[in-house]
Amino acid sequence: MRRRPLIVGAVVLVLVAGAAVVGVRWWQGSGRSDLEQAAGFAPYDAQRLSWTDWADVRAEVGTDDLPDLLGAGFDADLTSASALVESAPLLQARFGFSPATAEWELFSQSESGAVVIVRVPDDTDLEDVADTLEETGFTRPADDEGVWMGGAELLPAVGARLTPELQYVALDADDHLVLTSDNESYLAETVETLGDGELPAAMADVVAASGDPLTASVYDGAYTCAALAMTQADAADQELADRLVADAGEVNPISAFAMSVQPDRGVRVAMGFENDDQARANADSRAVLAEGPAPGQGGEFGDRFTVDTVAADGDVVTMDLEPKKGSFVFSDLASGPVLFATC
């Protein structure tokens, strides 16, 4: 007779625990942008994040027809961060998801590996996606959270324009995610630790400063200094860059960098620094650099955009740019060499 209260007590504990989990998930999502929430799924060693909010891009360009979406998205400079654009038609036909249906896409890259994380709508039946993967030739894993085995030999048989990042696939029904990679073990590790890690503080700060963008590129300090370095420019441009930096004032190394397209189509740059003093000094110096010549890119930055505001908030500097008509500020300046992002 004493077992029944124990059972009831156990049920109450389970319900309380379940409520706590729901509460934690709600708390983790509350007040955070979609980019911040997506970044919470990135692997712990992420050095570069490329974000595309496909739902908002579709709303922005006014279509969910895949060819029209990709064309209009390209013209609006909203698709260059995606790892899936070239593969999109085959994804829609053979994988059961694509930019025409996805909520968002996050591409995470580190020295250890890379993974694409796609958030599909809540009403997507991932069992249907699983069946589609099996029909396409992927080998079903032993458990639902395992890795679907495709490999380098399968993809060419499916379609020549599939990115290697689609060689291996994992499905997460709890968070409505499809994860893909060209590295089986890295993908398995990502799934195992999904949502457990945190971005380095500097990257998290520039992500937060980026607001709720349509698309974004986020780099840690080391990747910034590699991807955007003026050392990629020719000797004459490097010499000019050195003079411009010397004339601009104090210029310190960047601890993290983000560039994003905002809902108003403006481009925001967020740069993290070691401390508040450096941020205030670099708000001035980098504003000067962003309004002058663009060695390595050619011409003047003013040919591409006007600088609306530059502000330091704590150890982060934000710079809001207004692209000139016909310029592709985000896709051009999210890769180097870029003078105002110099280390």
Q: What is the mean pLDDT of each run of 10 residues along the chain (343 residues)?
A: 33 37 42 93 95 98 97 97 95 91 97 97 93 94 92 87 93 96 96 89 97 97 88 88 93 96 97 97 95 90 95 98 95 85 80
Question: How far apart are alpha carbons 141 and 164 in whole angstroms?
Answer: 20
Contact partners, residue 50, CB within 8 Å, separation at least 6: 81, 82, 83, 106, 107, 109, 216, 217, 218
pLDDT at 30: 54
Question: How far apart are alpha carbons 154 and 160 in whole angstroms?
Answer: 10
pLDDT at 275: 97
Question: How far apart are alpha carbons 37 and 28 in whole angstroms?
Answer: 8
Closest CA to 342 of 248, 252, 223, 218: 252
Element (H, E) at 22: helix 3-29
pLDDT at 17: 42
The edge-to-edge listing of strands for the beta sheet with 316-323 is: 147-149, 168-172, 177-181, 114-119, 104-109, 48-52, 215-220, 256-261, 267-272, 316-323, 305-313
Closest CA to 257 of 231, 294, 289, 225: 225
Q: Burial of 122 by CB count in 10 Å (0-12 exposed, 13-18 middle, 19+ buried)? A: exposed
pLDDT at 220: 96
Q: From the CA atom positions of the chain, what is the Rg in Å?
A: 22
Residue 124: CA count within 13 A, CB half-sphere: 25
pLDDT at 339: 87
pLDDT at 2: 31
Q: Which of the 8 DSSP states describes residue 121?
A: P
Q: Which of the 8 DSSP states describes residue 281?
A: H
Q: Is there a contact between 273 and 224 (Cβ–Cβ < 8 Å)?
A: no
Beta strands in 186-331 (DSSP E): 215-220, 256-261, 267-272, 305-313, 316-323
Contact partners, residue 24, CB within 8 Å, separation at least 6: none
